[in-house]
Chain A
Amino acid sequence: MQVYLPIAEISVNAFLLLGIGGLVGILSGMFGVGGGFLITPLLFFIGIPPAVAVATSTNQVVASSFSALLAHLKRKTVDMKMGTVLLVGGLAGSALGVLLFNFLRSLGQVDLLVQLCYVLFLGVIGALMFVESLNAIRRANRPGARVVRRKHNWVHNLPFKMKFRVSGLYISVVPPLLVGVLVGVLAAIMGVGGGFIMVPAMIYLLGMPTKVVIGTSLFQIIFVAGFTTVLHATTNHTVDVVLALLLLIGGVIGAQFGTRWGVRMKAEQLRILLATLVLGVCIKLAIDLLIQPTELYSLTAGAL
């Protein structure tokens, strides 16, 4: 069944979109990621204009994150105060990102920027996660070894200290603000929630306890992704609500299956699978940049 997307102005098979949404939903159910980093490249692949794909993905991120946040709120694993600080940085970063996005769009380099961001961040995060989960699997096989608790680092010596009760932290607000800005910029440029950057940053840089990290990250991602959606919709008119809706329906159903399959697997195995997937997407995008494309020319809508 073909559906004409009113903003993307192309006709796409509805089942294909439901399938993509479903596939990413399965992954987000299994791994607890928003899936924006997979949906955006997949949308490029089926011919959705990059600007529409990026803007619409942010809307999809809002939905999947909100669904997951509700579960975390019930378990009281959300640090609202830390989330709000991250959010302030995130909103500033998001506005900066949309400005940057529009500027590069006028230069014709948006595709390049988006692809480079993907290659860089997916590569780094994927590799780190892969090594970390391999070590975890090795540790699990050697029961004598214990995880060393992290000591204070330079992060704890900065000014403007604040108490975060849920996280049990007393640290400066500067690092969370900066992490927020970074994630906001990425959300705008890459069409992702930024969870895959935020989560490691909160654990390793801020030293937050792992159990509150995901809920807090989701809390702030919803607002940043929502704000980014509004910015893209009002400045570029590139959010396609029909596209978003089809992806959402698929995603909701997929997430249900993903969660069920996820509980049967070990945490380290899940992480190593996710790392492999992230690295796979990264390598595919890198190859596209490095190998001579079959069509050297491309078209973009001109200014009047």
Chain B
Amino acid sequence: MIRLVIFMILLAFPALAEEEIVLGLSHDQVAITATFEGSDILVFGAVRRETPIPDKSELGVIVTIAGPDMPVDIWRKDRRAGIWINTDEVEVDAAPSFYAVATSAPMRDVLHHVEDLQYRITAPRKIRAIGGQVSDSVAFMNALIRIRTDEGLYQRLEGAVDLEQDTLFRTAITLPANLTEGIYETRIFLTRNGRVIDEYITEIPVRKVGLERWLYNLAHNQSLIYALMSLAIAIGAGWGASAIFGMIRR
């Protein structure tokens, strides 16, 4: 009986121990400096296996990079008294500030929707828990994804992972300039026939550095000093301008 159960389990998860991800990253951190214009992250790796390549099923690779989760309010405008104002609101508890999904083939070929629900891979699955004040919350969700996609913050890159001889894979993901700092969770999934057979998780810290870091900390931790500094710069610039004007007029 026990043998039968083990046999059944092995049959059900045939590939679990057979294929594993070995990973490399071009950056192990991203520094936001004053002249930050975005960054390309190269994710590359190989599939390690003890047995020959199974030829009956299709191998897929999915790479996701997710920025820190943030709460966000989605507003919809409606016409009231002739002008367009925000009327309906949906509060999202946690939506990644950045989310890129790259796959080696069209999404429906590499990922079964049940697996998507479990591992939360596509953007709609990744965004969590909506406070349901409106009937059509799906439209709000789509709007969130659409707006962030237009800003380059959400990316769905189907077919962007190069998979060679079912062994080597690589993809480049562009982080835009308007990044939020935090820990960027990077996940790589190996799938066969849409079923996840291995998952690899690593982190890429994104940090403001140097002057940017200093100003941000000052503005949030010692806001009064920051405010007085801003005023001093303004007064100084105003005085400087007046002095230079005076010199030129003379």
Contacts and interface: CB of A to CB of B under 8 A. Distances in A.
A60 interface: yes
A255 interface: yes
Contacts of B89: 108
A302 B38 contact: no
Nearest to B142: A297
Contact of A302 (B32, B70, B77, B237): B70
Contacts, number: 185
B33 A63 contact: no
B8 interface: no
A202 to B, nearest CB: 22
Central interface residue in B179, B208, B227, by most chain A CB within 10 Å: B227
Contacts of B76: 296-297
Interface string A264-278: 000000000000000
A233 B233 contact: no
A4 B32 contact: yes
Contacts of B178: 9-11
Interface in B10-46: 32-38
A141 B57 CA distance: 91
Task: Classify the secondary structure of A's interface with B.
Answer: helix
B5 to A, nearest CB: 46
B144 A299 contact: yes
Interface in B235-250: 235, 237-242, 244-245, 248
Given A230-B231, A296-B77, A302-B73, A241 B215 contact: yes
Given A6-B212, A298-B86, A303-B71, A65 B36 contact: no
Given A226-B231, A239-B219, A297-B74, A302 B91 contact: yes
Central interface residue in A252, A255, A299, A303, by most chain B CB within 10 Å: A299
A157 B154 CA distance: 64
Nearest to A302: B71
Contact of A62 (B82, B91, B238, B244): B238
B84 A292 contact: yes
B191 to A, nearest CB: 32
B117 interface: no
Interface residues of B, number: 63
Given A6-B219, A241-B215, A300-B75, A71 B231 contact: no
Interface size bracket, A side: 35 or more
A217 interface: no
B53 interface: no
A155 B37 CA distance: 57
A63 B233 CA distance: 8
Given A11-B177, A67-B241, A241-B230, 19 more contacts: A1-B35, A10-B177, A11-B178, A62-B231, A62-B238, A65-B238, A66-B242, A230-B228, A233-B226, A234-B224, A252-B244, A291-B84, A292-B79, A293-B84, A296-B143, A297-B76, A297-B77, A297-B143, A302-B72
Interface of A: 1-4, 6-7, 9-11, 59-60, 62-71, 108-109, 111-112, 226, 229-230, 233-234, 237, 239, 241-242, 244-245, 248-249, 252, 255-256, 259, 289-293, 295-304
14 contacts: A6-B208, A6-B212, A9-B178, A60-B234, A63-B233, A67-B241, A226-B234, A233-B223, A237-B220, A255-B241, A296-B76, A296-B78, A297-B143, A300-B72
Interface of B: 32-38, 70-79, 82-86, 89, 91-93, 140, 143-144, 146-148, 177-180, 208, 211-212, 215-216, 219-220, 223-224, 226-231, 233-235, 237-242, 244-245, 248
Q: Which 7 A-B pairs have the closest CB atoms?
A: A66-B238, A302-B71, A11-B177, A297-B143, A233-B227, A67-B238, A63-B234
